[in-house]
Amino acid sequence: MTIPLILASKSVPRRNVLYSAGVCPTIRVSHVDEPAALEHAAEQAGVSVDELSVNQRVMILAEAKAQAVYQAYRNVADAAAAATGERVTAYPLKAVGVGDAGSVPSSSDLTAVPASASSSASPASGVTGGKASDITRDFSGVDVPTTVEPIHTPADGAGKGGSGVNGTDADDTGSTGANGSGTNNASAIQGLTTAAVGPLILGCDSMFLFNGECHGKPHSADVARERLRAMRGHSGELWTGHCLIDFATGRVARGASHAIVHFSDYSDRDIERYIATGEPLEVAGSFTLEGFGGAFIDGIEGDPHGIIGLSLPLARRLAGELGVEWTDLWNVARGEHDPAPKADGVTSSASGSVPPKENVRQPGDGWIDCDCGRRHWGLNGASGVLLARRDAVTGKVTHVVMQHRALWSAEGGTWGIPGGATADGESAIEGALRESYEEANITPEDIEVVGAYREDHGNWAYTTVFAFEKPGHTVMPRANDDESMEIEWVSIDEVPNRKLLTAMRTDWPRFRARLDTIAEEPAR
Residue 328 has pLDDT above 80, yes or no: yes
Architecture of domain 5-76+198-323: Alpha-Beta Complex (3.90)
3-state secondary structure of 215: strand
- Can you tell me the mean pLDDT for 462-487? 94
The greatest distance separating any two alpha carbons of the chain, rounded to the nearest whole angstrom, comes to 77
Q: Give the type of residue at 280.
A: P
Distance CA 457, CA 90 (A): 9
Asked if residue 256 lies in contact with residue 244, where contact means CB atoms within 8 angstroms, the answer is: no
- Can you tell me the mean pLDDT for 9-15? 89
Distance CA 218, CA 201 (A): 27
- Can you tell me the mean pLDDT for 455-469? 94
Distance CA 523, CA 517 (A): 12
Cα three-residue angle 421-431-462, rounded to 5 degrees = 55
Sequence-distant (6+) residues with CB within 8 A of 412 are 126, 127, 348, 350, 351, 353, 405, 406
Computed from CA positions of residues 245, 16, 287, 311, in that sequence, does the dihedral angle turn out positive or negative? Answer: positive
The pLDDT score that the predictor gives to residue 156 is 59
The pLDDT score that the predictor gives to residue 395 is 93
Q: Which residue pairs, CB below 8 angstroms and at least 24 apart, start in 514-522?
A: 514/88, 514/451, 514/453, 514/466, 515/386, 515/388, 515/397, 515/400, 515/466, 516/396, 516/397, 518/85, 518/450, 518/451, 518/466, 518/468, 519/388, 519/390, 519/395, 519/396, 519/397, 519/468, 520/395
Q: Give the type of residue at 216.
A: G
Asked if residue 139 lies in contact with residue 92, where contact means CB atoms within 8 angstroms, the answer is: yes
The CATH superfamily holding the domain 89-174+364-520 is Nucleoside Triphosphate Pyrophosphohydrolase (3.90.79.10)
- Can you tell me the mean pLDDT for 98-114? 38
Distance CA 331, CA 311 (A): 19
Predicted TM-score (pTM) of the model is 0.82
Enzyme catalytic residues: 205
The pLDDT score that the predictor gives to residue 32 is 93
Scanning 146-220, the segments in alpha helix (DSSP H) are: 186-190
Residue 174 has pLDDT above 50, yes or no: no
Asked if residue 92 lies in contact with residue 460, where contact means CB atoms within 8 angstroms, the answer is: no
Residue 171 has pLDDT above 50, yes or no: no
- Can you tell me the mean pLDDT for 321-347? 70
Scanning 193-303, the segments in alpha helix (DSSP H) are: 221-231, 268-276
Asked if residue 177 lies in contact with residue 283, where contact means CB atoms within 8 angstroms, the answer is: no
Residue 331 has pLDDT above 50, yes or no: yes
Asked if residue 166 lies in contact with residue 454, where contact means CB atoms within 8 angstroms, the answer is: no
- Which of the given ranges, 83-87, 284-288, 355-359, 366-370, has the highest pLDDT on average? 83-87
What are the DSSP E strand ranges found in 75-119?
86-90
**Residue ranges, CATH 3.90.79.10, the chain:** 89-174+364-520
H/E stretch holding 298: strand 297-302
Paired with 389 in beta bridges are 399
The pLDDT score that the predictor gives to residue 84 is 96
pLDDT-based confidence at residue 326 (cuts at 50, 70, 90): very high
Closest CA to 239 of 62, 63, 54: 54
Interval 288-324: pLDDT, tens = 888 898 899 999 998 888 888 899 999 999 999 999 9
**Residue ranges, CATH 3.90.950.10, the chain:** 5-76+198-323
Closest CA to 504 of 385, 348, 369: 385
Residue 108 has pLDDT above 50, yes or no: no
- Can you tell me the mean pLDDT for 257-264? 93
Interval 369-401: pLDDT, tens = 888 888 888 999 999 999 999 999 999 999 999
Interval 412-453: pLDDT, tens = 899 999 999 999 889 999 999 999 999 999 999 999 999 999
Distance CA 483, CA 421 (A): 13
- Rounded to the nearest angstrom, the gap between the alpha carbon of residue 207 and the centroid of all alpha carbons in its chain is 27
Residue 359 has pLDDT above 70, yes or no: no
Q: Comparing 502 with 431, which gets the higher pLDDT?
A: 431
Closest CA to 247 of 4, 504, 521, 497: 4
